[in-house]
């Protein structure tokens, strides 16, 4: 059988952002010494990377389990945590390994200031996303979170509000929401809290998607950033495919001599994208 002779390129700008890299480095440093580390929630929204870290001794716990974790080390991931998590971990005599992303910490400070100024806080983001839980926790959960503008009842909106965003949301959609609210006569104080690195990576990825016949975007099923980037790729290149592991790839997607671009989310490890490239080279 003739090989497809695929021309494969991995996007060098894809892969872990600083916050995720920092969190994983901290986890691995401790695991090398202790061979065990508790992590509050999934360290990264990527199933394959989680498996790799669990093999080294990482133990994922959920918020309701933190009450039973005592006298050990607990890692707080890049997404950030609400104040209650810090209080409970310290109360149980745990050492907190804080890997909260500096960008997230700045946003938490901003939202806290808005709350202290009695501003009506609205957040464009995914319900129950860990980053959102960390943000709303700063303001005693007195913030309105919405994923779609249709969730909001315009007749019940305050005349003036402050709008934040989850860091990995689509910036174009964010400003569409701003414009829509302003057109309805609402005074919107805009806090563009979308991560600048995520935004610039999104722009770069559009060029990458345009330069290949097929695009394979590798991301965890729960990755918000992955879904945003995939949708953007799909707009540019209709032959874009979202996968979480090599097992999901189908040979039928490709034709002989296709140029294939492999890219990923801010939570996608480079080793996984390289594995995808190796697998495609066997076709």
| Distance between CA atoms of residues 227 and 146, nearest Å | 17
| Distance between CA atoms of residues 194 and 203, nearest Å | 13
> Among residues 131, 176, 248, 255, which one is catalytic?
131
Only one residue has tokens 């959102």, namely: 132
CB 281 within 8 A of CB 8: yes
Outline where the chain has alpha helix (H). 18-34, 47-56, 83-91, 102-116, 130-137, 171-183, 196-210, 224-236, 270-280
CB atoms within 10 A of CB 234: 16
Q: Residue 19: CA atoms inside 13 Å, Cβ hemisphere, count?
A: 26
| Distance between CA atoms of residues 112 and 43, nearest Å | 25
Residues linked to residue 217 through DSSP beta bridges, in sequence order: 242, 263
Residues in the chain: 283
131 labelled catalytic: yes
* Helix/strand number for the chain, H first, E second: 9, 12
Distance of CA 150 to the CA centre of its chain: 23
Six token digits for residue 176:
């569409």
CB atoms within 10 A of CB 70: 12
| Distance between CA atoms of residues 129 and 23, nearest Å | 18
| Active centre residues (catalytic) | 131
């Amino acid at each position: 059988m003739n090989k497809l002779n695929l021309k494969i390129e991995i996007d060098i700008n894809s892969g872990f952002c600083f916050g995720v890299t920092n969190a994983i480095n901290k986890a691995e440093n401790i695991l090398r010494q202790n061979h065990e580390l508790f992590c509050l929630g999934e360290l990264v929204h990527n199933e394959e990377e989680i498996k790799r870290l669990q093999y080294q001794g990482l133990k994922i716990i959920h918020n309701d389990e933190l009450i039973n974790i005592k006298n050990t080390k607990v890692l707080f991931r890049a997404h950030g945590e609400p104040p209650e998590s810090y209080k409970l971990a310290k109360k149980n005599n745990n050492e907190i390994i804080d890997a909260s992303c500096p960008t997230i910490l700045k946003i938490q400070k901003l939202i806290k200031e808005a709350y202290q100024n009695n501003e009506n806080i609205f957040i464009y983001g995914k319900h129950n996303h860990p980053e959102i839980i960390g943000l709303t926790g700063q303001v005693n959960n007195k913030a309105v979170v919405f994923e779609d503008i249709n969730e909001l009842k315009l007749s019940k909106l305050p005349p003036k509000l402050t709008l934040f965003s989850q860091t990995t949301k689509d910036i174009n959609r964010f400003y569409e929401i701003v414009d829509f609210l302003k057109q309805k006569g609402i005074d919107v104080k805009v806090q563009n809290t979308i991560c600048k690195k995520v935004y610039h990576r999104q722009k770069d990825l559009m060029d990458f998607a345009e330069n290949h016949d097929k695009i394979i975007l590798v991301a965890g099923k729960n990755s918000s950033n992955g879904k945003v980037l995939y949708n953007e790729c799909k707009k540019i290149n209709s032959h874009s495919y979202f996968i979480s592991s090599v097992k999901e790839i189908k040979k039928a997607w490709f034709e002989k001599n296709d140029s294939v671009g492999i890219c990923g989310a801010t939570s996608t490890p480079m080793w996984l994208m390289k594995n995808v490239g190796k697998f495609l080279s066997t076709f």
